[in-house]
Amino acid sequence: MKAQRLMWIAWPAFLMAGVMEMVVFAFVDPQALEWFNEPLNMSRQGVYTIAFFAFWGIIMAASGLTTLLSLSPFEVNRCPVPCDERPSDCAKFST
């Protein structure tokens, strides 16, 4: 289930990072970028690559937070130990 949730987060974020890359670099020339008033000494392809992974990471973080906030209280509080193996003093012990 965790792998499936990870793909729910990573795949749409990958697609949107590609879209953001196209939109941003349609208006911004990578050779004109500066960092602390110094020109960026990277190739266009290097800037594209770093920007893509930055966009992907930011969108994955936002999607992950959305997924976390969409969990029901049951999913959050569910004990991973099967009912018949739980100790009797477990706070989540139920019959």
Q: Tens-of-pLDDT digits for all 95 residues of the chain?
A: 788 888 989 999 999 999 999 999 999 999 888 989 998 889 999 999 999 999 999 999 999 999 888 888 877 777 777 777 777 666 654 54
CA angle 67, 93, 3 (to 5 degrees): 30
Residues 6 or more apart from 81 whose CB is under 8 A from it? 90
Q: Return the ∠ at Cα 52 (arms to 56 and 38), rounded to 5°.
A: 125
Q: What is the CA radius of gyration of the chain?
A: 22
pLDDT of res. 91 = 60
- Tell me the two tokens of residue 86: 């739980």
Res 17: pLDDT: 97
